[in-house]
Every structure is written in structure tokens, then in C-alpha cells.
Amino acid sequence: MKPLSIMLLLALQICFSIVGIACGQSLVPGVMIFGDSVVDTGNNNHLLTLVKANFPPYGRDFSSRLPTGRFCNGKLATDFAVETLGFSSYPPPYSSSEAQGENLLNGANFASAASGYWDKTALLYGAIPLNQQLRNFKEYQIKVKAIAGKENATELIRGSIYLLSAGSSDYVQNYYINPLINKLQTPDQFGDLLLHSFNSFIKNLYDLGARRIGVTSLPPLGCLPASITLFGKGKNSCVTRLNSDAIGFNYKLKSAAEALKKSYPDLKLVIFDIFNPLLDIVQNPTKYEFFEARKACCGTGTIETSLLCNANSIGTCTDASGYVFWDSFHPSEAANKALAEALLLQGIGLIS
């Protein structure tokens, strides 16, 4: 048995012993998901936006073999996390027809591809801004109270785990390509602007009842295939400048989280380090049984995402399991599984 598998088993044993519930039951009453395309499961499907993934070949390796709106060939890291927590179904996209009645009683997904900490990033692409995602969550609470009653709704809201993925779109799909911003602000200054939004989001989510919040750090932005293509100046390796920006932001993000926990003693707030696990996978792909870490599976693997990754994309691989990236921005299902396993131990504090 691999060391990682042993760690997973130990982690699960710890989780179950701490919570004191039997196997087969969920560890928490629900999961609420906010953020961007890394966690969006279909909220962009009916928006007037080009940033969608509700068409083939997206979803070709999902259980239904159908595109759902996930920017992946199969499951997202959050899907694996939800399964590990003991749920038999995933939180429905809040804007979908699935999000009604008892389907809402285990949580919901409010994320929108191309959204970020800065609402202007989402508006640039016609996505759902983070502040609107919060307003949707308020509306969700009203619906749950009507379905389950105030007491049950309060228990669900307070006991659920809240997951947030944001920041990548702010940098890669806005700051780096927008001279109206990058000529006026350094990456560090832009990061401070995003951190202001982060602090505001966490405080507002806390005021709405959240007590267990997990936030992903920025990934190694310079290792995304699209970043290497767009900003690598012809080199076939991770863009150091972009990775350095991500490291700087992640350091500040962690410091901001520590300050928030001091202000709210009953808040469990974990910053999931996704930078180092993904960087290790990219730099040592064979260690994780991958053979391609530079190019994505879809199309040429260098720039395709969303509408550019489609059923007619020339060169799309037949088996994505050996690829770290599915499209030029997003990990494959196999990589998402590896990332979910790497992040599991980091999240035990949210469950205990």
C-alpha cells in the first residue's frame, strides 16, 4: 500500500473517531461551495457568457458520461472531497433545476467560472460575482427554512463546511492581460485589493452563520499550460514570475486568515495549500503516474479552454488519466483526485 493511501486511511479513522459517527453517514450536515471554475459544477450553463463547459468533450469521463458544466473530463477535487465526507450526491448548482426541495438539504454550489475575489473580474466575463454568490446563499437559507424549519436550517448552516476557490481568474484572466490594471498596480498591490475582498467575504459568510470555512490558496499560476503559452516567452517551462506572484499572495492570504481567526474565536478557517501539491505533480509527474504535465489533454493542450475545448478540437487525447491538465487551465480528474488526497489531512481541523 502506498504511503499516501495509508495516510488517507489514518485520516479517515481520525475523522470518524473525532466526530463519533458510524461509517456510511456524512461527517457534516452539508457542504456549501463558492468561487470559480475550479469548483463550478454548472452554474454558468444558462448564463450569457462564453465561459462554459456544458458540451463535449467536457464530462466524457464523469459517471453519466455527459457534460455537466464542470471544467474537467470527470470529477472535481471538491467532488472527491464531498464523497470522502460521506455524501452520496453532490451539492447541486444553485442556478440549476436540481436546486430545489430536499436536494438543498445537504448544501449547494454557488460557484461560477471566471469569478474571483474582485467582482469586476466576474463582470468582465458575465459570470456570477462573489458578492452575488453570497446573496444567492442568503436566498438559499430562506428556502431551506421553508423546507426544513428554522431549527434544522440553523443546524445545517452552522454545521456545514464552506469551501471557497478564488483568485486564479483575477490574475490570469484579468490582471495579467489587462493593461488598464497591470500598468497601474504591481502584482503585490493587486493582491492587496483581492485580500480586502477576501476579508469582506469571510466576515459576511460568518455573519450568515458559517463557522467551518476552507479556502484554497492560489495554485502555481505559472505552470498552467495557458500561462506558459501566453507568458512564457517561448520557453517550455513554468513561468517563474507568475509563480512568485502566487507565493506572495498565498503568504498574505494565510496571514489574513490568522488575523480573522483571532477576531472570531469560534471560526474554523483553513487555508488549503494547493500550490505545493500541484507544483510537485507538475515537476514530478511520474511519481503520481502521469506522463504529461506540460500540455493538456484537450486540443493542442496549450491554450484551449471553455469553447476552445470542444468536440471538434484537433488532437484531443483519448485517455486523460496520464495528463495532469484536462484543458489549458484546469486539472484532469486524475489530477483532481491526487490533489484531493493531498489536501485531505489539511482539512481535518474543519471536521473536528
d(CA 98, CA 95): 8
Angle between helices 187-207 and 240-263 (to 10 degrees): 30
Q: Which of 22-31, 109-118, 134-143 shows the lowest per-residue confidence on average (mean pLDDT)?
A: 22-31
d(CA 182, CA 349): 37
Among 11-15, 224-228, 301-305, 308-312, which stretch is predicted with the lowest mean pLDDT? Answer: 11-15
pTM over 0.85: yes
Helix, strand, coil fractions of the chain, as percent rounded to 5: 50, 10, 45
Q: Return the pLDDT at 25.
A: 81
Reported as a pLDDT band with limits 50, 70 and 90, residue 16 is very low
Active-site residue (options: 169, 197, 327, 332): 327
List of residues 6+ apart from 289 with CB closer than 8 A: 322, 334
- Given a cut of 70, is residue 6 above it in pLDDT? no
- Per-residue pLDDT at 24 exceeds 90: no
Residues 6+ away with beta carbon under 8 Å from 88: none
The pLDDT tens digits for 84-122 are: 999 999 999 999 999 999 999 999 999 999 999 999 999
Q: Which whole number is the average pLDDT over 254-281?
A: 98
What pLDDT score was predicted for residue 352?
77
Active site residue 112: no
Average confidence (pLDDT) over 150-172: 98
Q: Determine whether 37 is an active site residue.
A: yes
Closest CA to 42 of 114, 106, 113: 113
Integer Cα distance of 175 and 169 in angstroms: 9
Q: Looking at residue 15, what is its pLDDT?
A: 46
Convert 28-57 to b/e letters by CB count within 10 Å (16 or more is b): bbbbbbbbbbbbbbbbbbebebebbbebbb
CA distances from 100 to 78, 95, 139, 141 (A): 21, 10, 12, 12
CA–CA dist 204, 164 (Å, integer): 13
* Average pLDDT, integer, range 179-193: 97
**Summary mean pLDDT of the chain:** 94
- Alpha carbons 154 and 145: distance in angstroms, whole number: 8
Q: Residue 286: which pLDDT band, with cuts at 50, 70 and 90? A: very high
* Catalytic annotation, pick one of 36, 40, 115, 330: 330
Task: Go through the domains of the chain in sequence order and give each one's CATH number.
Answer: 29-351 (3.40.50.1110)
Higher pLDDT, 181 or 351: 181
pLDDT beyond 90 at 23: no
Q: Does the structure show a pLDDT above 50 at 18?
A: no
pLDDT reading at 300 higher than 50:
yes
Q: Poorest-confidence range of 5-14, 51-60, 143-152?
A: 5-14
The pLDDT score that the predictor gives to residue 279 is 98
20 pLDDT more than 70: no
pLDDT band for 10, please (50, 70, 90 cuts).
very low
DSSP-H helix ranges across the chain:
3-19, 77-84, 119-125, 130-148, 150-159, 168-172, 179-182, 187-207, 225-231, 240-263, 275-283, 333-344, 348-351
> Could you tell me if residue 101 is left (phi over 0), alpha (psi between -120 and 50 degrees) or otherwise beta?
left
pLDDT in tens, 205-249: 999 999 999 999 999 999 999 999 999 999 999 999 999 999 999
Catalytic residue among 37, 95, 227, 332: 37
Is 327 among the residues known to form the active site?
Answer: yes
Which neighbouring-strand residues pair with 214?
163, 270
pLDDT at 345: 87
Question: Where do we find the cell 499560476?
Answer: 221
